[in-house]
Structure 1
């Protein structure tokens, strides 16, 4: 079978099937992966790009953001994904000495682990975003940063504002320079994001070019 190439904007909510239909098509794989319950905050980590090849729309999240979520949720943090012996991973271990750390088990296994979690923190990654969206999580913490920020990438719409599982955090639009100074700030700075309620976020999106006509009526379940 030949591959298919497209130049369409695929990263938009209005182009995706309903969550119910997508979950039916992409059934959770029967893999032996760690399962975490209601007392655990599963944090998917995507490591920084090489300083020689920074990706302006994908970046490491400020570690103070994780500290904020752990304090507010009072859940036990589990960091999983692209973890190694790099400075960022070591900074995480130093900041959260009692947390559990699970290096990547492979793409399928990591994806399944996120889908099975009850409380998830997404990284700045379509991989992480899709696994969380397809999950049965009770809460999904989504940072609006990098390509996930509507002001930085108005052509991207991956903010499920009608989905009551989501908690949104605004970090403002800023391109990731991939410098040592930027990495140091992410590891040791105090940036933790602004929690934005879905109705407030919906009103903000109406004023962003590229989102006009694509922000649905807000319907939140209790």
Structure 2
């Protein structure tokens, strides 16, 4: 029996990614294996702590060669795998409908009609700017998405007691702001809306990706949603539900020199990403195993202005 041990890291969205990665490794192994180490009470998932591995294959971060991982596990060169990362790369996971049995839709008190766009807000710890892949999104992004949608905005998410939320409420004074709820309630809201505007959040991404109801999903290509650094890739390129927006959030160096709340109010560069530009972004984020000379030529041809 091959042990697949998860070292839990993060909140609900991160834990779900860790479990999905473990399940994909288990599926590819096609031999006796068992998952250990993770509990997600929201989905009634409780796994035992698992054995202490003496010579494990350690998976950190997001980018892995899953075929090579399974080869090493089958060979006996390692005595198991320890998942210390998350694997936020959509190409690992296939059809989102495969996960409905693991993360079943729950009964919801809130249902959103076709005239509503549900707008997710990520705030709390990311407003400090200390997390590289996250940043509060500007008014300009939300404004342009809402305008294109032509629907009534309903904001929800991390909405308690911050100046960022005050700015949003003042600017979108005619919008509805739902009371802050538990993560599992918010996850259900994401899955029950036809039209959604995402913040930079793996939790929000999973909620809409898993949805069988969503018809349009507006997604900012920024932070962890920007595949160009070659780390995460959460762009489901062939999924027609998605509409992509370029938002250039400040770099880590820039963040130390600016007032984030002024930037949120004054930024005006959000723009819709067309198909050709999206192809260039996806190509630029290809991992090293496929980023060869021919592929680089494609990236150069696809760049804006070419």
Would the TM-score normalized by the shorter structure come out above 0.5? yes
Q: Using the alignment, how far apart are the partners of 1:55 and 1:27 within structure 2?
A: 31
Q: Using the alignment, how far apart are the partners of 2:129 and 2:219 within structure 1?
A: 25
1:143/1:170 contact within 8 Å kept: yes
Alignment-derived partner of residue 284 in structure 2:
207
What whole-Å deviation, never above 9, does each CA across 1:174-215 have from its counterpart, x for those lacking one? 4353776123211x1133522112453123322345276499
What whole-Å deviation, never above 9, does each CA across 1:7-35 have from its counterpart, x for those lacking one? 455101121141221234322012x4321
Return the match for 2:158 from 61, 71, 82. 82
RMSD over aligned Cα atoms: 2.6
Alignment-derived partner of residue 111 in structure 1:
187
1:48/1:59 contact within 8 Å kept: no
Q: Using the alignment, how far apart are the partners of 1:120 and 1:77 within structure 2?
A: 9
1:124/1:146 contact within 8 Å kept: yes
5+ residue gaps, structure 2: 1-47, 51-80, 296-306
State the TM-score, normalized to the length of structure 1.
0.84
Larger Rg: 2
> 3-state DSSP class of the match of 1:92?
helix
State the TM-score, normalized to the length of structure 2.
0.63
Q: Using the alignment, how far apart are the partners of 1:9 and 1:84 within structure 2?
A: 28
1:168/1:198 contact within 8 Å kept: no
- Highest relative contact order (Cα 8 Å, sep 6+), 1 or 2? 1
Alignment-derived partner of residue 148 in structure 2:
72
Q: Using the alignment, how far apart are the partners of 2:288 and 2:194 within structure 1?
A: 30
- Count of equivalent residues: 212
1:1-222 to 2 correspondences below 5 Å: 1-2=48-49, 5-7=82-84, 10-30=87-107, 32-49=108-125, 54-135=130-211, 136-151=213-228, 153-172=229-248, 174-175=250-251, 177=255, 181-186=259-264, 188-210=265-287, 213=290
> In 2 relative to 1, CA 51–62 (structure 1 residues): closer, same or farther, beyond 3 Å?
closer
5+ residue gaps, structure 1: 216-222
1:50/1:178 contact within 8 Å kept: no
